[in-house]
Structure 1
Amino acid sequence: MAIYTPLSASDREIRLLLLDAGSDDDVLRCNLDVALSYAWGSRSDRVDIELNGEPFSITRNLHAALKRLRYRDKTRTLWVDAVCIDQADNNEKAVQVALMSDIYSRTARCLIWLGEEPDVPVPTVSPDQAQKVNDLILETDKFLAGLMEQFEQGGGEMAGFADTLRQSMQGAHKDIGPDDFRITRTRPCSWYGDGRDIATLDAAATDPGSVQDSIFHAFALFRMLAQDRHLDQIPYLQQEETEGGSSIGTYNTNARRAAHWLASRDWWSRVWTVQECILPRESTVVYGPVETPWRCLLDGILNFLRHRDSCCATVSGVHDMLNFHVETLPELRAIRQLRDAGVPISLTHLLRKFRQRDASNHRDKVYALLPLVTEWYGGGPLAPSYSKSVVQVYTETMVSMIRASRSLDILYRPPEANVDKRLPGLPTWVLDLSHPLAAGGTLDRFEYQLPLYNASAGTPAQIEVLDNGKILALEGLRIDRIKRASTFQAYLHSVHQDSWKDTLKWWAAVAEEELDASADGRLDAFWRTICGDTVATTSPHSDTAALTLRRAASSYDQSDFNKWCAVNDLPELVSGLSTLSPPEGDDGPNLGGAISHVIRATTQQRRFIISQGNRMGLVPNIAVKEFPEPDEIFVFPGGKAPIILRSVGVKEIPGRGASTCYTLLGECYLHGVMNGEGMQGFESEKQTVYIV
């Protein structure tokens, strides 16, 4: 153990604790005050501090944290990874990274540093961000104009769809104009999460005009939510009467905008911060001169969700508030709850859930999550190694997880938007974690829907890896090819009601044109396809809304689907009514919102297809009918769902000779084969498939 003194400026010093592999619990308990969790910041934006009498370079963000966190009356001891781990020594990093879970688990407290308050007012949306949004709008307009031109040239129903789409898109967006709202310096404040906050909250309520101190009001908002108040009793969530009619008051809007700005700090987007806010027994959020318990933010958002989806659902505008917090905080708390309850957590689950986060070193997209894994399927945990290339790390991680779990689950993921920007040399079957990828609303499809399928009839995965990790070889059975793929996929999730309605109608028309089945049978298969043959449960089994929980669909659910169609004026989709009893364990009929949620989650980033075997399905939006021949659908042992592959021609396989090779497009839903039906005749008809 070595102790460093990094600052010689005013106030008392901070000591940084360097731990070696032999450090024990006593060292941590006696010497470690807190561990620091922060976003590293730009490598080019650095400043020197004094470390053991010598200059040492750190980021400005860390420098601001060390200055702010010093005690005035005594020495403080911290553990900070950027200084306490030699970042230039790959061997030391590998050893020290393995210790981080112990450090954060045993520390008395973790400080979550969101950043220093600005010296001068800053806009909530930077000029670069505004320009990117405007560029995206222009690109979207150009794409839609070209697409609608193609529709119009097609005549008939295609032209009618184009006209409907054009009308629904009118006024959909406006150019981003000037915004004079700024984030300014705020008052020092400690939020305790208990009765000591009452006086401060009273002061906030009596000072609504203090919009220049919007950060203070943002923290007051979270504290009021943590008190479990009804949403219409929280002034920050209410509409205010202003001259000229009812509108959201500046005071309320600015508090919420400041809350969003806090949640857009770099700390929230870094992958290392996941374990740093889950493992510690106690954490405190620090922003400049403000401190609040981490549990205050968690409790506040969970209370907000519960009220929003039940007693306070009718509060005006409530479903458009605090969206980033709703998406981020509950998932962090959920992982903590799973660990505390002893529920196994796989690396596959964590990679999928936190893939949207980033890291300065791309290897850390895997290594930062290892301390949270509790399910290694009987094998040993992966060991960090910074001497390996990023491609090696990602490939070996995939192979290790498939072989240990004997499952292909890790192959199932949302399609990558920028396929051309994949790491050079990375096979298509390997996750490219180097580019942060938001799930785009599809995450619960992989977490809650996929486990209900059993396309491989429970047979375990067996794989070979050839050509130094470039080729995945596995035995599979081709069960179908795409015959017709819908042109439309993006509009199902448009904010414009008519666009996604017309998409569903078009999909139903495609099914009617292509299939000879009876109307009742076709419509039954259609509604089950667009729901993924699953429905959302209505029983709340968690702190948040229950819509993400799933069970297999039954004939009973047809009536709920039909009611949803009636409400949304979609008679073309109505299937036969059912009078069956609800499935055991379900509390009652699904609400229209539950049906809508399942359809949207199931079809997100999907195309509707008819296969050559006359099956309905939903495939990744990059799948097509011809390229130059139809994409193919396979089932493989260890796979819960069929997989879409695209032939890339005959290639030489080292040690195997010439054979057709494929690229991986993703998993799919193919009606009628999701429960092992496609595995019939597997042993006699299987083939070795090579994925590159």
Structure 2
Amino acid sequence: MPNFDYKSCVLPSAATHIRLLRLRLADSPTTRRNTTSPPNGTLVCELLTSPIAAPLKFKALSYTWGTAEKTSFLDLSGAQLNITPSLHTALQYVASQQQEHILLWVDQICIDQSNGAEKSKQVSLMTDIYSKAEQTLVWLGPAADRSDELMDLWLDVGQKADDIGLEDYFTKEKIHRLLEIMESRSVDDRLTKPYHQLVDEARPRFENLLQTIVDLDQRPWFHRVWIVQEISLCPDTVFVCGQKIVPVEFVRRASHIFTAAMKQSMKSNPGFSFAQLALQAQSHRLGPLLSTRKRRQKFANGEGEGDELFHLLRKLFVESDTRVTQTRDRIYGLLGLAVDAEQLEIEPDYVTLDVASIFTHAALAMITRGRIELLSFSQFPKEDGLEGLPTWAPDWRPNLAPSYYTIFEFAENHLLYASGITKASVVPTTNQNILGIRGYLVDTIEEVGNVWHASDAHASYLHLFKTLQEFCSKSAIKDEPIYEDPLRRAEATWRVPVGDLYWDPEVDYIRARKPLVEEAYHECVRISEIMVAGTRPLTAEELRRSPSGRYRNSMSGMDGKRPYITRRGYIGMCPGSAIAGDVVVVFCGAHIPYVLRACGEEDTHTFLGEAYCDGMMDGEILKRERERSFLIV
């Protein structure tokens, strides 16, 4: 059989047309349709072309490529086209469920992967392809590890949640009511009784499948960047696992019931092993994916704002293990879903642009549109192969560290406003690798302490507290008018370790305040002193009642940073790589300060990372310094 040549199915225009795969499973002695047995048989196919503006009716397939080696094949109009084994398995299952031919869009087949120019134009059509598909089939893989039971549970609970009207409460107006119902069985609402009956019924079934939920989350599909847009764009999207099919919307509703059930389970089952497994199951990637889908669907219906590219990058690459085959797809794989893609003017290019140029252009475009907080994710060392990135441009590698400032995507009232009411102001430069940006110079770092880590022992906590106390004393000796009074200066000892942000489970993060956080700080110091001295053991009741644990948790945002004092006496936390002589700055439009290091020519700097500067988090800099330009390489 000859090898397939895409010249036999040329697109009239890669910018306006797509190929579609007409698929069927040839009969064979072992082919058995609509059974629980794995399908077998030869895949017999042909390719058609269709304009994307008014396409033929087709379904889109979302799957994982698996190994890059194309060791399987299909019969494509009498010619052999090699494909990956994972795709071959997916197509066999899909074909086995059809009574007749099915038209599919499958990226590995419908795009000539060896043609970079075609691929660049076809990737630009992803939004249209998945939005116009009559259905998207999300192939999770063959049945395994009790996945059939989980799919049945999702279907059953999702249907019952729909029957009781749960979807009506997933609105901005009613979501708070739903939270009240989750917390109490006595809320006077039509949903309360059926809601808790469903949670009670589903709870033991979910508990029985916790390991299955964990196992499913480890399947490769959940860790691909492309799947985010693939699951989000088509209104009719279904999960396919083995022979089981469940609408994605049912899974989303069932996931809410699962969360409510686990809250009860954790209270009634205090065992460590159960709690550990339950927490692992609740950390699955399915929740954020379904949330992103809902946001996109609301945007498509004119009911919401959707996700900007920055939001998507942060969701997928900060504290998250999202993988790509080609590094540039960290950006390109999200353009079809980003509502600001057109404004950012990022065009997929698999031919002429190198990855560093793509990432630099994307970072500059987002910063220009006001996303200064993107700088917090330019972290070091850069990924292998991307060392040539400018210091201010993120490489968006998996598992980037979070910012200490939890920036809610659509917060109406931010907690920190270091630059006051100013807006981002980018200064054009002749070199894309140089970021020109307006802002304010706070001061030069005079002295730094040791790098601190949240995982360190109590002695490290005490050392940090002592260093900050010493810095406060030195600041008082300088007697610069950077605080309204000496009492406020002394508050730096308990504000700095938590970045002036404190976790309150009742209302989320709040600004650190007296006496709540100050008392928690002193209790944390006391507990650490006891632990280091080893003078007596702490009782479980003493630890349970102590607010020190919450204070320690609030300190976690400063992991990897070190304390500093500036020449004028400002105190804070700075990047672990910062040294004396580096400068603390506040960029226009930024909520938090950053640290730069002078290099070469005047006003030229390298970027080091984010910082906290006590007394400079509410726009005070506007009254004390003049705005200026910085050039960052």
The normalised TM-score by structure 1 is 0.67
Aligned to 1:396: 361
Aligned to 2:290: 333
The yes-or-no answer on 1:663 pairing with 2:633 is no
Other structure's SS at 1:617 match: strand
Aligned to 1:23: 53
State whether residues 7 and 14 of structure 1, in contact with CA within 8 Å, keep that contact through their aligned partners in structure 2: yes
2:139 pairs, out of 95, 102, 113, with 113
The yes-or-no answer on 1:625 pairing with 2:579 is yes
Aligned to 2:102: 76
What is the rounded CA distance, in whole Å, between the counterparts of 1:467 and 1:116 in structure 2?
Answer: 53
Q: CA deviation at 1:277?
A: 1.6
Can you list the C-alpha shifts for 1:620-643, whole angstroms capped at 9, x where unaligned?
33x3335xxx33211222322211
What is the rounded CA distance, in whole Å, between the counterparts of 1:294 and 1:424 in structure 2?
Answer: 40
The yes-or-no answer on 1:261 pairing with 2:215 is yes
The yes-or-no answer on 1:674 pairing with 2:617 is yes
Q: Which amino acid aligns with 1:618?
A: M
Other structure's SS at 1:396 match: helix
Aligned to 2:232: 278
Aligned to 1:149: none
Aligned to 2:186: none
Q: CA deviation at 1:600?
A: 4.2
Other structure's SS at 1:194 match: helix
Change (3 A) 1:314 1:445: farther
Q: Which amino acid aligns with 1:665?
A: L
Other structure's SS at 1:665 match: strand
The yes-or-no answer on 1:480 pairing with 2:434 is no
Q: CA deviation at 1:190?
A: 5.2
Aligned to 2:335: 370
The 5 Å alignment of 1:518-667 reads 521=488, 524-536=491-503, 538=505, 547=508, 550-555=509-514, 558-559=515-516, 562=519, 566=523, 569-570=526-527, 595-596=550-551, 599-621=554-576, 623-626=577-580, 630-647=581-598, 649-650=599-600, 658-659=601-602, 661-667=604-610
Q: How many residues align?
A: 530
State whether residues 200 and 261 of structure 2, in contact with CA within 8 Å, keep that contact through their aligned partners in structure 1: yes
State whether residues 214 and 284 of structure 2, in contact with CA within 8 Å, keep that contact through their aligned partners in structure 1: no
What is the rounded CA distance, in whole Å, between the counterparts of 2:253 and 2:157 in structure 1?
Answer: 15
Q: CA deviation at 1:184?
A: 9.2
What is the rounded CA distance, in whole Å, between the counterparts of 1:605 and 1:95 in structure 2?
Answer: 42
2:307 pairs, out of 345, 348, 359, with 345
2:324 pairs, out of 347, 354, 359, with 359
Q: CA deviation at 1:59?
A: 0.9
1:689 pairs, out of 626, 630, 633, with 630
What is the rounded CA distance, in whole Å, between the counterparts of 2:218 and 2:405 in structure 1?
Answer: 23
Q: CA deviation at 1:324?
A: 6.0
Q: CA deviation at 1:394?
A: 1.1
Change (3 A) 1:344 1:674: farther
Change (3 A) 1:288 1:645: same
What is the rounded CA distance, in whole Å, between the counterparts of 1:611 and 1:308 in structure 2?
Answer: 48
What is the rounded CA distance, in whole Å, between the counterparts of 1:373 and 1:631 in structure 2?
Answer: 36
Change (3 A) 1:268 1:687: same
Other structure's SS at 1:40 match: coil
What is the rounded CA distance, in whole Å, between the counterparts of 2:282 and 2:157 in structure 1?
Answer: 24
Can you list the C-alpha shifts for 1:320-364, whole angstroms capped at 9, x where unaligned?
225265252332233234331413532222111112422222222
Aligned to 2:199: 229
Runs of 5+ in structure 2 lacking a partner? 1-17, 34-42, 161-194, 477-484, 531-544
The yes-or-no answer on 1:99 pairing with 2:61 is no
The 5 Å alignment of 1:35-46 reads 35-46=60-71
Q: CA deviation at 1:592?
A: 5.3
Change (3 A) 1:483 1:115: farther
Change (3 A) 1:297 1:187: closer
Other structure's SS at 1:664 match: strand
1:303 pairs, out of 233, 257, 266, with 257
Aligned to 2:418: 455
Change (3 A) 1:519 1:366: same
Q: CA deviation at 1:489?
A: 2.0
State whether residues 260 and 322 of structure 1, in contact with CA within 8 Å, keep that contact through their aligned partners in structure 2: no
Identity %: 25
Q: Which amino acid aligns with 1:270?
A: R
Q: Which amino acid aligns with 1:411?
A: L
Aligned to 1:384: 348
2:399 pairs, out of 438, 442, 446, with 438
Q: CA deviation at 1:65?
A: 0.3
What is the rounded CA distance, in whole Å, between the counterparts of 2:332 and 2:113 in structure 1?
Answer: 15
Change (3 A) 1:509 1:84: same
State whether residues 108 and 282 of structure 1, in contact with CA within 8 Å, keep that contact through their aligned partners in structure 2: yes
Q: CA deviation at 1:60?
A: 0.9
Aligned to 2:3: none
State whether residues 131 and 234 of structure 2, in contact with CA within 8 Å, keep that contact through their aligned partners in structure 1: yes
Aligned to 1:410: 374
What is the rounded CA distance, in whole Å, between the counterparts of 1:370 and 1:292 in structure 2?
Answer: 27
What is the rounded CA distance, in whole Å, between the counterparts of 1:85 and 1:343 in structure 2?
Answer: 31
Other structure's SS at 1:513 match: helix
Aligned to 1:206: none
Can you list the C-alpha shifts for 1:73-114, whole angstroms capped at 9, x where unaligned?
322222211111222233322332232222323333322222
Other structure's SS at 1:456 match: coil
What is the rounded CA distance, in whole Å, between the counterparts of 1:331 and 1:8 in structure 2?
Answer: 35
Q: Which amino acid aligns with 1:82?
A: Q
Other structure's SS at 2:125 match: helix
Q: Which amino acid aligns with 1:624?
A: A
What is the rounded CA distance, in whole Å, between the counterparts of 1:184 and 1:307 in structure 2?
Answer: 20
Aligned to 1:125: none
CA RMSD of the aligned region, Å?
Answer: 4.0
What is the rounded CA distance, in whole Å, between the counterparts of 1:19 and 1:561 in structure 2?
Answer: 68
What is the rounded CA distance, in whole Å, between the counterparts of 2:253 and 2:559 in structure 1?
Answer: 30
State whether residues 111 and 118 of structure 2, in contact with CA within 8 Å, keep that contact through their aligned partners in structure 1: yes
Can you list the C-alpha shifts for 1:189-220, whole angstroms capped at 9, x where unaligned?
7556237999xxxxxxxxxxxxxxxxxxxxxx
Q: Which amino acid aligns with 2:491?
A: D
Q: Which amino acid aligns with 1:112?
A: V
What is the rounded CA distance, in whole Å, between the counterparts of 2:117 and 2:595 in structure 1?
Answer: 40
Can you list the C-alpha shifts for 1:447-487, whole angstroms capped at 9, x where unaligned?
47994322223323333454642222334433123344332
State whether residues 4 and 15 of structure 1, in contact with CA within 8 Å, keep that contact through their aligned partners in structure 2: yes
Other structure's SS at 1:313 match: helix
What is the rounded CA distance, in whole Å, between the counterparts of 2:563 and 2:435 in structure 1?
Answer: 28
Change (3 A) 1:4 1:227: farther
Other structure's SS at 1:271 match: coil
Q: Which amino acid aligns with 1:513?
A: E
What is the rounded CA distance, in whole Å, between the counterparts of 1:187 and 1:327 in structure 2?
Answer: 18
1:55 pairs, out of 80, 102, 108, with 80
Q: CA deviation at 1:5?
A: 4.2
